Amino acid sequence: MPETGVSRAQHADISNATAGPDTGAGPAPTAAARRTALLVTLVLGGLTALPPLSMDMYLPALPAVTDALHAPAATVQLTLTACLAGMALGQVVVGPMSDRWGRRRPLLLGMAVYVLATAICVFAPTAELLIGFRLLQGLAGAAGIVIARAVVRDMYDGVEMAKFFSTLMLISGVAPIVAPLIGGQVLRFTDWRGIFAVLTVVGVVLTLVVWKWLHETLPPEERHTGGIGEALRTMRGLLGDRVFTGYMIAGSLAFAALFAYVSASPFVVQEIYGASPQTFSLLFGINSIGLITVGQINGRLLVGRISLDKALGFGLGVIVLAALALLLMTSGVFGEVGLVPVAAGLFVLMSAMGLAMPNTNAQALMRTKHAAGSASALLGTSSFLIGAVASPLVGIAGEETAVPMAVVQVVCAVGAMVCFLGLCRPWQRQS
């Protein structure tokens, strides 16, 4: 398979093209550099959009899958957990692979397997087999997640890396908006299997785009030559960094609070509050718009003006308050509340993720230039494993109450804040 190299000069051109006019560094970017930067941004955005696309397009169909496969809601929710766990475990393998063999080849292999696994999901006859195929889908799809972050680390540093993560959030954030809407519309014309057929086509297109336009970003001289032992030692060294571990766990717990919403909201909105799949898709899209908007405020207005730690701390604080408000509402402290107040609380919680998610990634990866693939794998694996644990807990009390969702969100949000303050200790460092 041909491997196209990217020179240091090209990296500098791309960085200058995405830095914006206020950096005061380097010459003005050429038109070719701007086009290259835009193309790289779109490709990496597509890769980071694949996980929410795989998850969220399927969400409106969860009640339908429960009926079609004659399985309880808790079992069907495991199809989400399996995909999430697969994405977590796959990153542990793909991250070190990309540090050793470069970014392109592991990514293309993973995308090819993702397409095959998604196509198999179309024909799953039972919930148990669907869970297995979703696990394989997640294992393969992990390549896009971990390598996209590693490519960003290859190309950017410092404030520019934080800005680029916020830009990726804008692009990948479109997926949660359109995915449930597309899924809801697909269900108007076919059943839940049609959703996996659409995802198969998306995977094929993205694989072709990566093959044609995403060049190699890790030069051969910077690759690790060791085997599994070296990869494990590298990861052990990363985990030994208290500050890196603090950002990793804080970001993972924030992601778990978000995924508790993702996993429970189809049943909360549709079964408890009686909304249609289309209404659920609309509310989900509005929440995603909030996340994108705050992410862009972070990248375009806050980064470079205030420290990343201050923005991160504020975001985590808002998540804690929103989760507590949801717990009070769903547990009946304010009496019987309708869909609108609960939806408002979820909107605030989701929007604050636009401050938490890009800044935890940027702060953690700033410390790991020497092993971006392994660091990205640890960040992703931690997030997806903790999210996979949170997912089944939201349905532990059945489909008639939203209290478990709120409890999980409160525990995760408070835990994220404790890790941020206790391990990262931002007052001791310059951001």
SS (H, E, C) the chain: CCCCCCCHHHHHHHHHHHHCCCCCCCCCCCHHHHHHHHHHHHHHHHHHHHHHHHHHCCHHHHHHHHHHCCCCHHHHHHHHHHHHHHHHHHHHHHHHHHHHHCCHHHHHHHHHHHHHHHHHHCCCCCHHHHHHHHHHHHHHHHHHHHHHHHHHHHHCCHHHHHHHHHHHHHHHCHHHHHHHHHHHHHHHHCCCHHHHHHHHHHHHHHHHHHHHHCCCCCCHHHCCCCCHHHHHHHHHHHHCCHHHHHHHHHHHHHHHHHHHHHHHHHHHHHHHCCCCHHHHHHHHHHHHHHHHHHHHHHHHHHECCECHHHHHHHHHHHHHHHHHHHHHHHCCCCCCCCHHHHHHHHHHHHHHHHHHHHHHHHHHHCCCHHHHHHHHHHHHHHHHHHHHHHHHHCCCCCCCCCHHHHHHHHHHHHHHHHHHHHHHCHHHCCC
pLDDT greater than 90 at residue 369: no
pLDDT of residue 222: 80
pLDDT greater than 60 at residue 372: yes
Which of 265-274, 334-343, 367-376 bottoms out in mean pLDDT, i.e. has the lowest? Answer: 367-376
- What is the model's pTM? 0.70
**pLDDT, mean of residues 394-417:** 85
pLDDT greater than 60 at residue 351: yes
pLDDT greater than 80 at residue 78: yes
pLDDT of residue 319: 96
**pLDDT, mean of residues 265-282:** 81
**pLDDT, mean of residues 261-283:** 82
pLDDT of residue 278: 77
pLDDT of residue 296: 84
Predicted confidence band of residue 25 (pLDDT cuts 50, 70, 90)? very low
Average pLDDT, rounded, for the chain: 82
Residue percentage of the chain with pLDDT more than 70: 87
